[in-house]
Structure 1
Amino acid sequence: MKLYKSCLLTAALLLSSLEDAYTTDQPREQKSDNVLTVQNSKVRFPTDEERFVLPNIFSPIKALVDPKQGLQKKVASLQKAIERKEKVVSSLNDQITINRIERTRTIDIINVYQLRMKKKPSAVAEEFIKQNLDKLEEKLSDIDEKLKSLKNQLDGHEEDIEYQTLELGHLEKLKNQDLDLQK
């Protein structure tokens, strides 16, 4: 109750200071027809300091006079903060589930390698030898194919060489016959 009274007193003082800020410098004159006029009066406008200070003074008073509005603003800001925190928590939960999945995958891979290592060394060696033999067989078949193609090329070249030697021999015989005839 004391707080309420002090707020009302402060508000009244502020209102009176505002009222004084907008009063005229010269007194009003009354004419005969009961109309109030002001001659050569100047209105005093509030200074820059008063313009910026007075609204700041009224804001706590408004919050005290209308507590519901202040509480509603606080509740709204708290709700927004809670929503932001919930988003952060949900993203953290998503990351945790992803990490769990990755962890189980790596554990499974490790278990598979452990099982392979527990096999007898001879069985592991046999698998290794089989794999290497298969690779060697593939390489040998590739080499055989290359050799066959090279042999075919050589056979083709040999036939060409034989044909060319036969032609040369035939040409030499013809030259010899021509030389014999010319003599």
Structure 2
Amino acid sequence: MTSSISPRRERLPLGVMAICGSAIAFDGYDIVVYGTTLSKLRDEWGLTSGQAGNVGSAALVGMFLGALVVGTFASRWGRKRTFLACVAWFSILMILCAAAPGPEVFAVIRFLAGIGLGGVMPLAAAFTTEFAPRDRAAVAYVIMQSGYPVGGVAASLLAKWIIPGFS
């Protein structure tokens, strides 16, 4: 008896799930790291609660926008190329966040990074479910998305170690 499943869908390549899960982990890291550094940022920049909320929301607004527009770019350039561009985009901008001279620039950089982060989420979901066997697509998706809390926990643990020693 021959299988009706294409060879590519017989089993999920672990590399696809690992790459997508890692990208999602950095997404979780980025969102949580702001909360772990907020008290130091408020002290250093003299942020009010409202300003701190605006800076924190900037990445989420960018993620919303990125998730909305990523389909257009994926249709034009292909999903793989768009995924890689989103990962490169948010990676560079996350590094630039460390050099932000003040809250306004920091918020703009976080917003721009959020666009890439928001683009990664639907593309990672599409890749994972596309390459997973039909009967395991939901499980593969949940495992891949578990990278988000892993990234958040990593941000918390790193902050616990880095902030006291390096401020």
Give the TM-score band, short-chain normalised: under 0.3
TM-score (norm 1): 0.22
Larger RCO, structure (CA 8 Å, separation 6 or more): 2
TM-score (norm 2): 0.23
CA radius of gyration, larger in = 1
